[in-house]
Amino acid sequence: MTTAVLVLARTLHIGSAMMLVALPWFVLMVVRPVLREHWGDDGRSFCRSLVKWLWLALVLEAVSGVAWFWLVTAQMSDRSPWGILGADDLKTVLWQTQFGRLWFGRAFLGAALVAALSFVSYQQTLSKAGTSQTNWLFLVLSGSLLLTLAWAGHAAAGIHDAVLHLLADLLHLLLGAIWPTGLVPLACFLLHINDRTRQILTPDRSIQVLQRFSHFSLVAVIALLATGSINAWLMIGSWDALATTTYGRLLLGKIFVVGIMIGLGAINRIYLLPKMKDAPIMLRVLEWTVWAESGLALIVLVIVGVMGTTSPPS
């Protein structure tokens, strides 16, 4: 039971941290460059909806972070997590362990994110035309919060090639916020432009946004395969362990699901996007495939949560 709750806390925490990066990144790097000359009700309505998702992700990040810290403290103190932990146990983990000091620093980053998002929401900087430094500040803070998770995983143990492992994990986390987590704001974007009750964007600009995301995701996928291969080799150590250990089989499951996602993405890029201008129905089909990819991304996230609580062979 405790392990299952820890997996859930890790899954929600990693997922919400990636979402805090993916949402503003999608607006600032994918949508805004296309709509720079045409920022109107279409851009504002879409960005206002994403701000609500940002608040939800921030709340989930805080709640799951507290749960994760509580469960780890109970494990380190050899106590039940379902009771009241002593103040001494909490202080010992907080001040005398790397995990505790990491969580203390991440709490400060979280507080800074709350302040930045409050300003973004109040001033509506994300949905206004033009450039606001606050939007970029929020993206930098959320990216920093995500990257610190590298020190909460297996890479921080430094068993083999510690520097290489940590660098690969840092890049893997950041790229994961672009793809596949970036599929969530993309799905929201498609939901908006496919709403028949209003005309959010012209077809040409919609296609430009989709093509821009496709280019970013292609680069992210290639880099993810490289960093993932480095991590896998350092954690598994041999082909035999890949098939005979729990960690290895989990990794194979993750690779299988990611392979399906890459296949769907290839269909979107090679088949659906080129036909979209002449066959608008393809936009609706693309929405379905993106939602399917997003669902598979959730499965990958759960697998990652389980792998984080499973000892690797090496």
- Tens of pLDDT, residue by residue over 23-34, are 999 999 998 888
Is 68 a residue whose pLDDT tops 60?
Answer: yes
Report pLDDT for 242: 85
Query: Considering only CA atoms, which of 270, 205, 231 is closest in space to residue 33?
Result: 205
- Give mean pLDDT, residues 85-92: 82
pLDDT(200) > 80? no
Q: What angle do CA 149, 153, 157 make, to 5 degrees?
A: 125
User: Residues with Cβ < 8 Å from 172, sequence gap 6 or more?
Assistant: 224, 227, 228, 231
Q: What is the pTM of this model?
A: 0.91
Q: Residue 312: is the preceding peptide bond cis (ω within 30°)?
A: no
Highest mean pLDDT, choosing among 83-87, 125-129, 218-222 = 218-222
Distances (CA, A) of 75 to 3, 68, 82, 264: 10, 11, 11, 41
Task: Give the confidence band of 162 by pLDDT, cuts at 50, 70, 90.
Answer: confident
Q: What spatial distance separates the first Cα and last Cα of the chain, rounded to whole Å?
A: 26
String of b and e for 91-122 (b: at least 16 CB within 10 Å)?
Answer: eebbeeeebbebbeebeeebebbeebbeebbe
Q: What is the pLDDT of residue 81?
A: 76
- Binned at pLDDT 50, 70 and 90, residue 220 comes out as very high
Q: What percent of the chain has pLDDT over 70?
A: 91
pLDDT over threshold 90, residue 311: no
- Mean pLDDT for 83-110 is 87
Least confident among 53-62, 110-119, 250-259, 269-278: 269-278
